[in-house]
């Protein structure tokens, strides 16, 4: 197989199994399709499973817009322990003999953790500290201080509470940069019982849904048929239809003055005659649509 033709430019909705790293998932795509140019958006921990958006060919330049979309997870947290990694694969650093939190305590913690919150990522994470990954520093027993960051929890729902097992099953819809391991840890602290994440499945990244995701085995069978047009997965961007007369101008990076007043600096999925051209933005100072990323090849 070669890297020629539009069939090799687009997104793959990849279903990453537990035990595979996100890098391994991209390597799997490259191997199956015989491609070199591929990348992923929104890293999943090796122990987690679920949706991993993978781009191939020219679509790799659009990954930043996919990675910024809302994400949905299903997780189980276990009360009574806290680990250095935030999940049950780490070393226990604290234990609590407190009883299983009752429904009122859980509801109060859930309410406090919903909306815009401050969150500190786990030490064992890919967050950069002084230009180096926190997890690499931690594995060398070097001191790591990760600053808190603001994230948005749009929805946090308790699906099941198992008192005998001291566990909660939760669904989370959140912004880019949210660590579910940290969310589970903080929920435990709020209830006074401590907690760590036991399993994690990512069910959605923007328009990438787990119901339509392909396992490695399915990808092997589908081949290039698994590669879909990028516009299918850019629903998180506002759409702008550019007149055909300005199509070439956009593709060559030339601005187009427009009469509409659009939200400044927000990325726009730009189309012309329903064909996806790339991503642009509205420049308020010049009242123009300017090119940010070109997808369709220039003529």
Q: Could you give all domains of the chain from N- to C-terminal order, each with its CATH number?
A: 6-69+206-233 (3.30.2350.10), 71-203 (3.30.2350.10), 238-294 (2.30.130.10)
DSSP per residue, 4-69: -SGGGSEEEEEEEPTT--HHHHHHHHHHHHT-S-EEESS---TT-EEEEEEEEGGGGGGHHHHHTS
Instruction: Respond yes or no: is residue 45 known to be catalytic.
Output: yes
pLDDT score at 144: 65
Best-predicted range by mean pLDDT among 79-93, 118-132, 159-173, 251-265? Answer: 159-173
% pLDDT > 90, the chain: 71
Cα separation, 88 vs 76, in Å, equals: 11
Q: Give CA 220 to chain center in angstroms.
A: 24
CB 277 within 8 A of CB 248: no
Strand spans (E) along the chain: 10-16, 38-40, 49-56, 71-79, 81-83, 92-95, 115-119, 128-129, 132-133, 149-162, 167-174, 195-205, 208-209, 238-241, 256-257, 267-272, 275-283, 288-294
Token pair 């890297």 is found at 3
pLDDT score at 296: 80
pLDDT at 125 over 90: no
pLDDT at 179 over 70: yes
Residue 128, judged by CB atoms within 10 A of its CB (0-12, 13-18, 19+), counts as exposed
Cα separation, 122 vs 112, in Å, equals: 20
- Give the pTM: 0.88
Which residue has better confidence, 266 or 207? 207
| 176 sits in which H/E element | none
Cα separation, 192 vs 213, in Å, equals: 38
Confidence category of residue 136, pLDDT binned at 50, 70, 90: low
Residue 158 structure tokens? 């308790």
pLDDT score at 298: 54
The per-residue pLDDT for range 61-103, each reduced to its tens digit, is 999 999 889 999 999 999 999 998 889 988 899 999 888 999 9
pLDDT score at 4: 42
pLDDT score at 31: 94
pLDDT at 130 over 80: no
pLDDT score at 210: 98
Q: Report helix, strand or coil for 151.
A: strand
* Burial call 245-270: b when 16+ CB within 10 Å, e when fewer: ebbeebbeeebbebeeebeeeebbbb
Which residue has better confidence, 132 or 181? 181
Chain mean pLDDT for the chain: 89
Confidence category of residue 6, pLDDT binned at 50, 70, 90: very low
Please tell me which residue in 9, 24, 45, 186 is annotated as part of the active site.
45
Lowest mean pLDDT among 142-146, 204-208, 212-216, 278-282: 142-146
CB 60 within 8 A of CB 40: no
The per-residue pLDDT for range 23-61, each reduced to its tens digit, is 999 999 999 999 889 999 988 988 899 999 999 999 999
Residue 131 structure tokens? 């230009």
Q: Distance from first CA to last CA of the chain, Å, rounded?
A: 26
How much is the average pLDDT of 214-228? 96
Task: Classify the C-alpha dihedral 77-83-86-89 as positive or negative.
Answer: negative
């Amino acid at each position: 197989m070669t890297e020629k033709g539009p069939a090799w430019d687009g997104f793959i909705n990849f279903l990453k199994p537990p035990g595979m790293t996100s890098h391994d998932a991209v390597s799997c795509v490259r191997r199956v399709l015989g491609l070199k140019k591929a990348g992923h958006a929104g890293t999943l921990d090796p122990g987690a499973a679920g949706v991993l958006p993978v781009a191939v060919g020219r679509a790799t330049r659009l990954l930043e817009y996919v990675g910024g979309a809302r994400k949905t997870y299903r997780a189980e947290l276990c009360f009574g322990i806290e680990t250095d990694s935030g999940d049950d694969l780490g070393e226990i650093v604290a234990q609590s003999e407190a009883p299983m939190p009752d429904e009122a305590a859980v509801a109060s913690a859930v309410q406090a953790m919903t909306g815009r919150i401050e969150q500190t990522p786990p030490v064992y994470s890919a967050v950069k500290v002084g230009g180096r990954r926190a997890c690499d520093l931690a594995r060398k027993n070097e001191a790591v201080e990760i600053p808190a960051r603001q994230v948005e929890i749009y929805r946090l729902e308790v699906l099941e509470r198992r008192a005998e097992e001291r566990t909660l099953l939760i669904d989370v819809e959140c912004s880019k940069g949210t660590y579910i391991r940290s969310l589970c840890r903080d929920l435990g602290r709020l209830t006074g019982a401590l907690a760590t994440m036991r399993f994690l499945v990512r069910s959605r990244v923007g328009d990438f849904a787990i119901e339509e995701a392909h396992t490695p085995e399915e990808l092997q069978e589908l081949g290039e048929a698994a590669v879909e047009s990028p516009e299918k997965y850019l629903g998180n961007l506002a759409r702008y239809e550019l007149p055909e007369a300005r199509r070439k101008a956009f593709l060559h990076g030339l601005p187009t003055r427009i009469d509409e007043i659009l939200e400044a600096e927000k990325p726009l999925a730009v189309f012309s005659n329903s064909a996806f051209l790339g991503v642009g933005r509205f420049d308020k100072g010049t009242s123009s649509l300017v090119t940010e990323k070109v997808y369709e090849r220039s003529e």
